[in-house]
């Protein structure tokens, strides 16, 4: 597998907001603490004060979460190291997509592990542990109940509700498994030996990345939620996170940047078995939407004290929760994630929690041997694959046409004829000039129509080349979306079990370019 890197702006896949951030635009500096570079970690280490009690509770929670799983030696070492005051984490997070979902799930984790390796080299007096934050509390099942492979969508349909991590792998899932007999054994074993979705995800992520020292953290944990009680009370009573997030969002909007997330007055869901619904305050009461649950202020504050696990943070408070329960220094995310964190700097400041180094995950495009052959036959280089293909087709036809399909000479002759005759006719009667002008417009439109017909005829002559272009575009952007956001890892992993290792060889967490990875003979 060979690597070629392309500047992200040249791919035309990323927002100016995101690109301005990673390029260090001065106007965005008030919205984060550290520049996205390896040197920033020295200051991040100095600023991170992680309470000993929080570390103790984190280690206890992880010990429980890993019960029943036979740990790799590297995982054991990481869990032991996490108890020490000089150990920090670097984190990425993602939903519980089936069979890992799109490729970028894998890219996130590989980037995070590689970052930890780089930091362990750069700062040998400290230890850095890569963490995957398993978003088991999310409840949008429709976003995660499928995966796509070779252009086909495989979907699990279930009528369960609540946090998807608690979904049982029931009879409907067992029927779904029968529809995908081709999946890799690592997934078959994980799903067949698990009772819930989060248990299965933990098992296959452990199998794929445990030997690299990755730890998996599930925030749906009573002990960890207990560390977040004061934020829960502030959000429920004073709505402080909403106020702070809105202020930063408005400041970004004055600079011309649109917010990615929309803060609410209350940024918690009520979480229980089969239920994850928003909490809203109506008058003096707190209501759980789409349920009969209703609490007074005293009752909901008592619930925070007795059962903090029933409060699930939304996207506004999940980053803060993560940073308060982990000795974390960096978060790696996709383009949308990176920019929505910038809306939250005020929330972090209010709760006196250090804002982490915010890094983009690595971006990649994998090219198979077959698609490389088609690219080669067109004479394209690695940059060409990101150009507008329809523009390329028009330019190609114009350059390779048997005749001038734009009919420039004819257009000039027709225009000159009507202009000259119009001037002569004007001397006889002024109104005739307008008639000749209108006739010129009609004639040029006819030539335009003839030009289109010539172009289409030329396109038929070049149909083989155009078919290659269409095949390449469908490969690079299935259904119009980048490959990494659609295609499942098994499209490559089933044929190449060294895929993940090859990603480790090529990924560089501090290189913010698109990596074109080529399978060559």
Q: CA dihedral defined by 220, 224, 230, 234, rounded to 10 degrees?
A: -20
Regions of the chain with pLDDT less than 50 = none
SS3 content of the chain, % helix, strand, coil (to 5): 55, 15, 30
Contact assessment for residue 315 and residue 343, using Cβ atoms and an 8 Å cutoff: no
SS3 label, residue 149: strand
pLDDT of residue 178: 94
- How distant, in Å, are the alpha carbons of 146, 419, 428 from that of 416? 62, 5, 19
What pLDDT, in 10s, does the model give residues 291-304? 999 999 999 999 99
pLDDT at 407: 62
Q: What is the pLDDT of residue 411?
A: 77
Position 187 scores a pLDDT of: 97
Q: For residues 196 and 134, what is the distance between their CA atoms, to the nearest angstrom?
A: 13
The pLDDT value recorded for residue 456 is: 73
Q: Considering just the CA atoms, what is the radius of gyration of the chain in Å?
A: 29
Distance linking the first and last C-alpha atoms of the chain:
9
Characterize 337-362 residue by residue with b for buried, 16 or more Cβ atoms within 10 angstroms of its Cβ, and e for exposed: bbbbbbbbbbbbebbebbbbbbbbbb
Residue 159 CA, distance from chain mean position: 27
Write the secondary structure of 231-255 as one string of H (helix), E (strand) and C (coil).
HHHHHHHHCHHHHHHHHHHHHHHHC
Torsion sign across C-alpha atoms 15, 19, 25, 28: positive
Both structure tokens of 487: 């295609």
What pLDDT, on the 0 to 100 scale, is given for residue 461? Answer: 61
């Amino acid at each position: 597998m060979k690597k070629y890197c392309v500047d992200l702006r040249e791919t035309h896949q990323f927002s100016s907001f995101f690109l301005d951030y990673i390029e260090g635009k001065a106007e965005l500096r008030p919205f984060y603490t550290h520049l996205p570079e390896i040197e920033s970690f020295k200051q991040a280490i100095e600023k991170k004060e992680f309470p000993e009690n929080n570390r103790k509770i984190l280690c206890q929670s992880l010990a429980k979460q890993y019960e029943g799983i036979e740990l790799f030696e590297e995982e054991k070492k990481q869990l032991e190291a996490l108890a020490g005051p000089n150990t920090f984490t670097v984190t990425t997070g993602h939903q519980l997509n089936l069979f890992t979902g799109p490729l970028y799930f894998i890219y996130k984790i590989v980037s995070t592990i590689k970052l930890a390796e780089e930091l362990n080299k750069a700062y040998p007096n400290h230890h850095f542990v890569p963490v995957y934050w398993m978003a088991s509390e999310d409840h949008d099942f429709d976003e995660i109940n499928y995966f796509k492979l070779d252009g086909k969508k495989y979907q699990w349909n279930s009528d369960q509700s609540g946090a998807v991590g608690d979904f049982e792998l029931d009879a409907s899932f067992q029927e779904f498994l029968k529809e995908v007999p081709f999946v890799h054994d690592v997934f078959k074993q994980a799903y067949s030996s698990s009772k819930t979705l989060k248990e299965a995800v933990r098992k296959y992520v452990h199998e794929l990345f445990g030997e690299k020292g990755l730890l998996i953290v599930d925030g749906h944990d009573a002990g960890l939620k207990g560390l977040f009680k004061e934020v829960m009370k502030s959000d429920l009573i004073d709505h402080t996170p909403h106020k702070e997030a809105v202020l930063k969002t408005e400041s970004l909007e004055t600079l011309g940047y649109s917010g990615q997330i929309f803060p609410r007055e209350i940024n918690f869901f009520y979480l229980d078995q089969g239920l994850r619904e928003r909490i809203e305050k109506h008058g003096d009461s707190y209501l759980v939407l789409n349920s009969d649950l209703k609490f007074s202020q005293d009752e909901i504050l008592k619930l925070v004290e007795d059962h903090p696990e029933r409060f699930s943070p939304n996207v506004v408070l999940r980053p803060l929760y993560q940073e308060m329960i982990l000795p974390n220094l960096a978060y790696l995310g996709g383009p949308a994630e990176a920019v929505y964190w910038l809306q939250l700097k005020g929330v972090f400041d209010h709760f006196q929690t250090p804002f982490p180094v915010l890094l983009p995950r690595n971006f990649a495009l994998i090219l198979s041997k077959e698609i490389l052959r088609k690219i080669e036959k067109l004479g394209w280089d690695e940059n060409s694959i990101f150009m507008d293909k329809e523009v390329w087709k028009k330019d190609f036809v114009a350059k390779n046409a048997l005749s001038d399909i734009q009919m420039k000479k004819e257009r000039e002759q027709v225009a000159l004829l009507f202009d000259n005759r119009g001037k002569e006719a004007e001397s006889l009667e002024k109104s005739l000039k307008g008639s000749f002008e209108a006739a010129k417009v009609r004639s040029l439109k006819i030539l335009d129509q003839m030009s289109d017909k010539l172009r289409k005829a030329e396109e038929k002559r070049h149909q083989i080349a155009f078919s290659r272009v269409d095949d390449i575009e469908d490969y690079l952007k299935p259904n119009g979306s980048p490959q990494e956001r659609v295609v499942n890892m098994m499209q490559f992993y089933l044929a190449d079990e060294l895929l993940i290792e090859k990603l480790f060889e090529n990924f560089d967490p501090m290189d913010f370019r698109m990596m074109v990875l080529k399978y060559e003979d």
